[in-house]
Amino acid sequence: MLKSVLISLTVLVLAVGGTSRAQSTGDEIAKYREMLADGNPSELFEAAGEELWLKPAGPNAQSLAKCDLGLGPGVVDGAFAQLPRFFKDTQRVQDLESRLLTCMQNLQGIDSQSVIGEEFGRGLRKNMEAIVAYVVTHSKGMKINPPLIHPKEREFYALGQKAFYYRAGPMDFSCASCHGAPNQRIRLQDLPEISTPQGAALAWGTWPAYRVSSGEFWTMQRRLSDCFRQQRFPSPVYTSDVTIALSVFMAQNAKGGIVQTPGLKR
Amino acid sequence: MKNTFKSLLLLGSILMGTTFCDAQDLDLKHTMESSFQTKGIASADRLNQDENQMACSALVKGKPQINAKLKAKIEKSNLNSVAYPQDGVFLGNWREGEKIAQSGKGATWSDKADDVNGGSCYNCHQLDKKEISYGTIGPSLYNYGKMRGQDEAVIKYTWAKLYNSKAYNACSLMPRFGHFKLLTENQLRDLMALLLDPQSPVNQ
């Protein structure tokens, strides 16, 4: 697998270097995706994540192998496709990343605040990103199917919907400024209309993703954080309620779509 | 006694709800405040909505909707607050305007307070036809000046639109560049020239 990833990376570098200003960035990215179909660089993160999942760590020297992501202790296959959801033990609606924080805390003894206070791509947060890559890959090709039964899940959907349209800041932007109408783009970047099933499936179904431009693996929490940066909002706290409410809004709208993560982005 | 107190609280929240916003909105406010923190120049108080932002965020059956009366009121107050150049000079240099239109910098937590902001115009609009990397959230502005000419009404309208886009459409997606001091008066003049100067690439 490593070999195929390396070959893919070489192809990718050649492709990026060899293309001057593309006629349509969308077309070029579609081409990269095709070339890389067998070896998305996310595989490197996924492999690291699998190791981290199985390796004893933290003050308790325990692995995450008994982590319950909603389908029972240790079940990874299909787990991401049914998130976010309400969890009885925490009495909270949780997305993948906040649920992993719970497992790290309860099983390994790792203080959640030490991950929440970290920057993306660093330290324990970087480990988290790899574990996310591992977990989401095990839902690839499945139907997006999070529950909307518990009152808290419904409450979070309603909150997410309101947060999606919440205009504020020096540019009056909300999520909907860019993602509230069909067939829009910023510069050449196509923008999915997240209030529709099709658009939501494109957005929710293709993140987390490997980003070609930065060589990083971006989780949904990171994707949302950078959206808010460009929205000129203050910084969303990692796994805060608004990020989970928006995730519920997206995932519910995307219901029936296909999990295509980890995606590959410009 | 305790029950009376509870009823009063309930009554209070019902009254508040009918006058200002429903209980769920109070939850939203609380959620927003507990979910964000100041980072760099992007301070937490940016979450506080002005009347305009609040009116354009209110949902009816899950979609933003504003009533005609409130829309007209907001547009009027925005138009009244537009500051026109005191020296009567509305047009600057279109070459500088093109640079401002290209730049998407400014006002994020990764920008500095004294950075020069851009107008992000190409993010949403077509302008110079040679620039193929343009967004489509706003209408094409190619040939803006050629189609409209340069009489006083056009000049004043264009200035007000750049200064405060909500003067003509309360829930426009465009930022209020003058109102929020995102661009200086001189930068607005340069963008005016980009749009209206016959020599500008926009009008070729």
Assigned domain for A17 exists: no
Task: Determine contact: B176 vs chain A, CB below 8 A.
Answer: yes
Assigned domain for B40 exists: no
Task: Determine contact: B41 vs chain A, CB below 8 A.
Answer: no
Indicate the residue of A166, A183, A186 with minimum beta-carbon distance to B57: A166
The Cα A82–Cα A220 span in angstroms is 15
**Average pLDDT of the residues of chain B:** 91
Assigned domain for A22 exists: no
Looking at CA atoms only, how far is residue B113 from chain A in angstroms? 13
The Cα A261–Cα A127 span in angstroms is 18
Among residues of chain A, what percentage have pLDDT more than 70? Answer: 86
Assigned domain for B164 exists: yes
> Which of residues A250 and A16 earns the better pLDDT score?
A250
Nearest CA in chain A to B28: A159
- The catalytic site residues of A sit at 227
Assigned domain for A155 exists: yes
Assigned domain for A133 exists: yes
Indicate the residue of A159, A165, A235 with minimum beta-carbon distance to B42: A235
* 8 A C-beta contact, residue A264 and residue A42: yes
Domain containing B182: what range?
A: 94-203
Looking at CA atoms only, how far is residue A222 from chain B in angstroms? 14
| Spans in chain B with pLDDT lower than 70 | 1-26
Q: What is the pLDDT of residue A264?
A: 87
The number of domains in chain B is 1
Give contacts of A159 with chain B, Cβ < 8 Å. Answer: 24, 27-28, 31
Q: Do A168 and B37 touch (CB under 8 A)?
A: no
Assigned domain for A176 exists: yes
Q: What is the CATH number of the domain that holds A154?
A: 1.10.760.10
Assigned domain for B47 exists: no
Give contacts of A171 with chain B, Cβ < 8 Å. Answer: 107, 175, 180, 182
Which residues on neighbouring strands pair with residue A263, listed in sequence order? A209
ipTM: 0.88
Report yes or no on whether pTM surpasses 0.90. Answer: no
Indicate the residue of B64, B107, B123 with minimum beta-carbon distance to A186: B123
The Cα A244–Cα A161 span in angstroms is 11
Q: What is the CATH number of the domain that holds B197?
A: 1.10.760.10
pLDDT in tens, B96-154: 999 999 999 999 999 999 999 999 999 999 999 999 999 999 999 999 999 999 999 99
Assigned domain for A109 exists: yes
Amino acid, res. A230 = Q
The number of domains in chain A is 1
Looking at CA atoms only, how far is residue B99 from chain A in angstroms? 15
C-alpha closest to that of B141 among B130, B125, B120: B125
Assigned domain for B163 exists: yes
Nearest CA in chain B to A240: B35
pLDDT in tens, A105-139: 999 999 999 999 999 999 999 999 999 999 999 99
Assigned domain for B56 exists: no
Q: Give the rounded distance of the alpha carbon of B152 from its chain centre.
A: 24
pLDDT in tens, A143-193: 999 999 999 999 999 999 999 999 999 999 999 999 999 999 999 999 999
Assigned domain for B72 exists: no
C-alpha closest to that of A134 among A39, A49, A209: A49
- CB contacts < 8 A (A, B): 132
Domain containing A87: what range?
A: 40-266
C-alpha closest to that of A156 among A233, A95, A228, A226: A95
Interface test with chain B among A120, A162, A174, A227, by most B beta carbons within 10 Å: A162
Which single residue is written with the structure tokens 């999915």? A192
Among residues of chain A, what percentage have pLDDT more than 90? Answer: 80
- End-to-end alpha carbon distance in chain B: 78
pLDDT in tens, A24-41: 566 766 776 666 666 678
Assigned domain for A83 exists: yes
Amino acid, res. B144 = Y
Cβ neighbours around B61 below 10 Å, total: 5
Task: Determine contact: B107 vs chain A, CB below 8 A.
Answer: yes
The Cα B162–Cα B77 span in angstroms is 16
Assigned domain for A8 exists: no
